[in-house]
Chains A and B, each alone.
Chain A
Amino acid sequence: MNAKGQAAVTDALFFLMVIISLSIFLFGFSTTYGESVKQQVQDEFNVTFATNALKTILYSSTSRDFDKTIYDPNAEVDYLLALVKEDYADDEKMNDREKVVLSDTIFAVLKPIADSTDYIFTITVPSGSSPKLVYMLVHTTNFKKDGPFLPGRYYRYTVDPANAHADYFCGNDVNYRGNLDIKINQLLVNVGPISESSSPIKLSVFGPDGAPGTVNAQADLIMWDPVWLGSTRDRTSGLLYETDPMDPYNEWGCVSVADVKSGASP
């Protein structure tokens, strides 16, 4: 009888072992269930947002009077892209006022996600013998880097809520082809997953004989979750700045949007 009792206990222990194994498998499966689908849904939302944002920016109207908005009943309203084309046609670059007008619309359209997303908006003339950066707006989180407080420990990154973001117009007076375009690509491959939307547009130009024409250009909106773009222990050179997000590398040719707005920029 004792032997019979031991056999029953052994069987029960085996049963318990099988149950525990199954339970561990089931629990593990349930905790990861839907993770990939959830990520895909989030990616879909991000891409849809980027696409909609770019379309909305390019479709939008704006006031021709820079001190008025489209909601002002006395404002002379035109398409934002028309204003950009007109300005570009003058001297094949964008002036500060038009840059500010375009940035106001970009900031307004992207405001719902501005706190949780960094982004770059560019207008480029990609083809032809001299690819050109016409416009570049960078919105990045103004991280402060502290520490490490103990040797070998990690740095601490914080954000001052009162001055949470750094916004620049970049690509001013710098060589785009073979220099800035490489830096932009280097930044984008290092910031993690990005949501990107592109749209072909046409910019107006005047030929050597003064005849009006158009040139193919491209508007891009690229968004990513905020990350530190400065130097790290493993990355001795920063992606956009060294240690201070308000002080980007000179190679980027950046000026603060606030400075341009206040007229302090050269």
Chain B
Amino acid sequence: MNSIKFLYAAYIATWLIHALYLGTMVRRYSRLRQQKKNLGTGGK
């Protein structure tokens, strides 16, 4: 059974899902920091 490619696929998929989630968190954090900064300067 040539199963090694399925093993690679599963491990890569796992870390891809976690990386995507981390990416969305970083993006949300940057957006919120920017919004907070804009609030501090009266939206300018």
Q: Are chains A and B native binding partners rather than an unrelated pairing?
A: no
Query: Which A residues fall within an 8 A CB radius of B?
Result: none
Query: Which B residues fall within an 8 A CB radius of A?
Result: none
